[in-house]
Amino acid sequence: MLPKQNSYGMRHLGNKNTYQTYHIALLIGSDTVQPVRCVRNLGIYIDSDLSMRSHVSKAVSNCFAALRRLRSICRLVSQPVLLSLVTS
């Protein structure tokens, strides 16, 4: 399986000062790869300081979105169905 076009990202790991110092684009073949502050690899978001802040933020956002969807249908379905949806 080939990666999507323009789906490449480069991440320089280090403190904030080195990111600003080494803001260098790479040329791979005919494509230019720009540095980014956060990349996604195998579904995990990795940020420059390896704090997982981006990954946790995205996970929390997805959880609240699921809760909002469940809240919108809670009056339309029975209690066992709602319980099944919450635990799935």
Query: What pLDDT score was predicted for residue 1?
Result: 46
pLDDT for 13 equals 56
Q: For the whole prediction, is pTM greater than 0.85?
A: no
Torsion region of 35: left, alpha or beta (phi above 0 gives left; psi -120 to 50 gives alpha): beta
pLDDT at site 51 = 84
The three-state DSSP-derived secondary structure of 26-53 is EEECCEEECECCEEEECCEEEECCCCCH
Tokens representing 87?
Answer: 């635990």
Query: For residue 39, what pLDDT is reported?
Result: 84
pLDDT tens, residue order, the chain (88 aa): 445 555 555 555 555 555 555 567 778 888 887 877 888 889 888 887 888 888 999 999 999 999 999 999 988 999 999 889 888 8
Residue 24 Rama label (left phi>0; alpha psi -120 to 50; beta): beta
| CA gap 16, 48 in Å, rounded | 8
Torsion angles phi and psi, residue 83, rounded to 5? -60, -40
